């Protein structure tokens, strides 16, 4: 980066034995101008920003494909150490961009929405100073993603890596939230790990939806909520393991819908609600268990709909409601046992519709149960 100094010269700049032509782009309203030096022959760009009166870095916030002078030219970029934030769509539709590196000593804090969307970026190593990545690399060709050691990043979200092509990722312990659709549609992703002592609290809607190759996931104890459709449509997923001492309290609707290879699941004891269609269409699911001391109170509609391999299940004692069509289409289900509890139990309509193998509902003799709708013809209610 020697030779790239402020103020920028008006004439072409010589660097590394090559000539770079200066170009100027205007930043957001009230900001200063930033300049790029592009070598058309080498297709490399080195970007340096002006510095405001407050000492904060200023960077181009939007380079639109219609106006960019290098979206079809740029192949490599080195982000200077002065950069603190890469703004929205900075390299949007740079469809030849394959490499982005950060100058030694760089301490950027945020990479914004669609920064490298529709680029050919192959690999990225994010500096430890990054705190947020928001939708930055979705739709790119990324094959590998790395975070520097002692990463400070707290939020990765809003389709940050949606539809990328990498096979593995290691989530830093500093991450507190994975936002909506973070890895949605990453079809090659089959290995996800979390650093020890993870601070992760929430995995939001669709975060791993459509990850066709993902076969196993180990979730840190710190995770409190799983969002809507978080693992929906992961047909290779056979194993979900919750770290001992999990504080998970909410499994949202369709969280594991159509995970057709999932064979068993053990629900952590602090989970209070299983959302609608949580395990709908898990065709291979044979075993569902709940940790001792489970505080589960509600199993919502269609939670286990069409789990055609499920044979029996024991419902925790605090559950008061089984939702509409909760076990509908569970062809192999023979026995449902309800735990000891004092609260009345309500079973909504169609809860056991199309369960031709169901023979017994087992309920404590001192517990009241209301069943809305008919039970299968050969099913009887037994007390114990």
What sign results for the dihedral spanned by CA atoms 91, 87, 192, 76? positive
Q: What is the DSSP string of 327-345?
A: TTT-TT--EEEE-S-SS-E
pLDDT computed for residue 27 by the predictor:
40
Question: Which of 266, 261, 265 lies closest to 282, judged by CA?
Answer: 261
**Full set of structural domains in the chain with CATH:** 263-384 (3.80.10.10)
The structure tokens listed for 20 are 């770079």
Please say whether the beta carbons of 208 and 232 come within 8 A. Answer: no
Distances (CA, A) of 273 to 40, 149, 203, 225, 297: 58, 36, 16, 10, 6
pLDDT of residue 71: 55
Q: What is the full per-residue pLDDT of the chain (384 aa) written as tens digits? A: 333 333 333 444 444 444 444 444 434 433 333 334 333 333 334 444 333 322 223 333 333 333 344 455 677 888 877 788 888 888 888 888 888 888 888 899 999 888 899 899 999 999 999 999 999 999 999 999 999 999 999 999 899 999 999 999 999 999 999 999 999 999 999 999 999 999 999 999 999 999 999 999 999 999 999 999 999 999 999 999 999 999 999 999 999 999 999 999 999 999 999 999 999 999 999 999 999 999 999 999 999 999 999 999 999 999 999 999 999 999 999 999 999 988 899 999 999 999 999 999 999 999 999 999 889 999 999 999
Residue carrying structure tokens 């069509």? 325
Query: Is 27 within 8 Å of 40 (Cβ atoms)?
Result: no
Alpha helices (H) in 196-291, listed in sequence order: none
């Amino acid at each position: 980066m020697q030779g790239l100094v402020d103020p920028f010269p008006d004439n072409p700049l010589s660097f590394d034995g090559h000539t770079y032509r200066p170009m100027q782009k205007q930043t957001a309203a009230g900001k200063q101008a930033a300049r790029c030096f592009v070598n058309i022959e080498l297709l490399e760009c080195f970007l340096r920003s002006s510095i405001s009166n407050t000492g904060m870095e200023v960077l181009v916030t939007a380079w639109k494909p219609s106006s960019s002078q290098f979206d079809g030219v740029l192949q490599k970029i080195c982000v200077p150490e002065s950069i603190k934030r890469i703004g929205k769509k900075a390299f949007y539709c740079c469809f030849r961009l394959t490499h982005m590196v950060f100058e030694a000593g760089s301490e950027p804090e945020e990479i914004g929405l669609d920064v490298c969307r529709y680029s050919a970026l192959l690999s990225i190593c994010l500096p430890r100073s990054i705190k947020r990545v928001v939708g930055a690399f979705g739709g790119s060709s990324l094959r590998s993603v790395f975070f520097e050691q002692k990463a400070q990043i707290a939020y990765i979200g809003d389709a940050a890596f949606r539809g990328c092509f990498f096979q593995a990722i290691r989530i830093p312990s500093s991450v507190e939230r994975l936002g909506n659709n973070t890895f949605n549609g990453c079809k090659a992703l089959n290995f996800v790990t979390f650093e020890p002592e993870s601070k992760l609290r929430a995995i939001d809607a669709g975060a791993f939806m459509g990850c066709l190759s993902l076969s196993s996931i180990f979730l840190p104890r710190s995770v409190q909520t799983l969002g809507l459709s978080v693992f929906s449509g992961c047909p290779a997923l056979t194993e979900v393991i919750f770290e001992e001492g999990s504080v998970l309290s909410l499994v949202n609707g369709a969280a594991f819908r159509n995970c057709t290879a999932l064979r068993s699941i053990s629900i952590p004891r602090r989970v209070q609600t299983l959302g609608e269609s949580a395990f709908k269409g898990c065709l291979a699911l044979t075993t569902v268990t709940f940790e001792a001391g489970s505080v589960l109170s509600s199993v919502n509609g269609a939670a286990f709909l069409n789990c055609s391999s499920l044979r029996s299940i024991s419902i925790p004692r605090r559950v008061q409601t089984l939702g509409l069509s909760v076990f509908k289409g569970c062809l192999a289900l023979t026995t449902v046992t309800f735990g000891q509890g004092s609260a009345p139990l309500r079973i909504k309509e169609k809860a056991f519709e199309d369960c031709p193998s169901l023979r017994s509902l087992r309920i404590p003799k001192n517990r009241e149960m209301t069943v809305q709708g008919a039970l299968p013809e050969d099913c009887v209610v037994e007390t114990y």
